[in-house]
Amino acid sequence: MLPSAVSDSRVHNILPNKIETDFQFSRASAATRVNHQGLIEDVGYFGPELVQNGNFSELGSDVVLNGNFDNGSTSWTLIGDVSIGNGVCTFFDTGSNTNSRLVQVGITANKTYKVVFSVTRYVAGRVQLIFGGASAVNVDISAGVGTYTAYVKAGGSTQWEIKRDGSYPNFDFDIDNVSVKQVDPDDDWTLGTGWSYGDGVAISTTAQTNLTCNSATLEIGKTYKFEVDAAAISSGSFGFLLRFNTTNTNIGTINADGSYSFIATADATSFRLQTLSGGSTSFSVDNISVVEVQGDRPRLDYDPINPTCPHLLLEPQSTNLVTFSEDYTQSSWIKSNFTANTETTIAPDGTTISGYDFGDGFLYINLPAMLNAVSYTNSVYIKANKNGTIGLRNGGAGSVSSNTDINLTTNWQRFTATSTASGGVTGRFLLDNRASNGYGVSDLKVFIYGAQNEQQSYATSYIPTAGSQETRVGETCNNAGNANTFNDAEGVLYAEIAGLNNGTNQRWITIGSGTNANRVSIHYNALGQISCSVRASSSAVYDANFNIGSQINNAKAAIKYKNSDFAFFVNGAQVDSQTSGTISFNAPLIELSFDSADGLSNFYGKTKALATYNRALTDNELYTITSTQYSAYSGMVAALGNYTIPC
Segment 43-99, tens digit of pLDDT: 867 788 999 999 999 999 999 999 999 999 999 999 999 999 999 999 999 887 678
Whether 587 and 502 map to the same domain: the answer is yes
CATH of the domain at 416: 2.60.120.260
Phi, psi of 619 (to 5 degrees): -60, -40
Q: Kindly report the three-state secondary structure assignment for every residue of 313-358.
A: EECCCEEECCCECCCCCCCCEEEEEEEEEEEEEECCCCCEEEEEEE
Confidence of residue 409 (pLDDT cuts 50, 70, 90): very high
Whether 614 and 527 map to the same domain: the answer is yes
Last residue of a domain, one of 469, 485, 504: 469
In a domain? residue 552:
yes
Whether 82 and 222 map to the same domain: the answer is no
**pTM, to two decimals:** 0.67
In a domain? residue 604:
yes
In a domain? residue 52:
no
pLDDT over 90 percentage in the chain? 66
pLDDT at 3: 39
CA distance 177 to 199: 19
In a domain? residue 51:
no
The count of domains in the chain is 4
Whether 463 and 477 map to the same domain: the answer is no
Confidence of residue 644 (pLDDT cuts 50, 70, 90): very low
pLDDT at 230: 84
In a domain? residue 53:
no
Last residue of a domain, one of 469, 500, 521: 469
pLDDT at 44: 65
pLDDT at 52: 95
Q: What is the pLDDT of residues 475-500, one digit of tens each?
A: 999 999 999 999 999 999 999 999 99
Whether 301 and 332 map to the same domain: the answer is no
Which residue has better confidence, 507 or 264? 507
Q: What is the pLDDT of residues 207-240, one digit of tens each?
A: 777 889 999 999 988 888 888 888 877 766 666 5
Whether 426 and 523 map to the same domain: the answer is no
Whether 286 and 408 map to the same domain: the answer is no
Q: What is the pLDDT of residues 129-152, one digit of tens each?
A: 999 999 999 999 999 999 999 999
Which residue has better confidence, 277 or 581? 581
pLDDT at 451: 98
Task: Select from 268, 136, 131, 293 the least CA-distant residue to 210.
Answer: 268
pLDDT at 636: 47
Residue 275 has pLDDT above 60, yes or no: yes
Residue 6 has pLDDT above 90, yes or no: no
Residue 502 has pLDDT above 70, yes or no: yes
Residue 12 has pLDDT above 70, yes or no: no
Lowest mean pLDDT among 176-190, 320-334, 385-399: 385-399
CA distance 386 to 390: 12
Task: Select from 623, 621, 627, 620 the least CA-distant residue to 639.
Answer: 621
CATH of the domain at 492: 2.60.120.200
Whether 493 and 605 map to the same domain: the answer is yes
Question: In this structure, are residues 197 and 183 in contact, taking their beta carbons and an 8 Å threshold?
Answer: yes
For the beta sheet containing 519-524, the strands, ordered from the edge strand earlier in sequence to the opposite edge, are 539-546, 530-536, 519-524, 507-512, 591-593
Which residue has better confidence, 146 or 6? 146
In a domain? residue 369:
yes
Q: Which domain holds residue 161?
A: 59-183
In a domain? residue 619:
yes
Task: Select from 237, 427, 430 the least CA-distant residue to 335.
Answer: 430
Last residue of a domain, one of 117, 150, 183: 183
In the predicted model, what is the mean pLDDT of residues 536-553? 94
Whether 363 and 401 map to the same domain: the answer is yes
In a domain? residue 364:
yes
Whether 550 and 599 map to the same domain: the answer is yes
Beta strand 311-314 with 605-613 is: antiparallel
| First-to-final CA distance of the chain | 11
Whether 425 and 398 map to the same domain: the answer is yes
Question: In this structure, are residues 259 and 223 in contact, taking their beta carbons and an 8 Å threshold?
Answer: no
Whether 152 and 179 map to the same domain: the answer is yes
Residue type for position 349: D
Element (H, E) at 271: strand 270-275
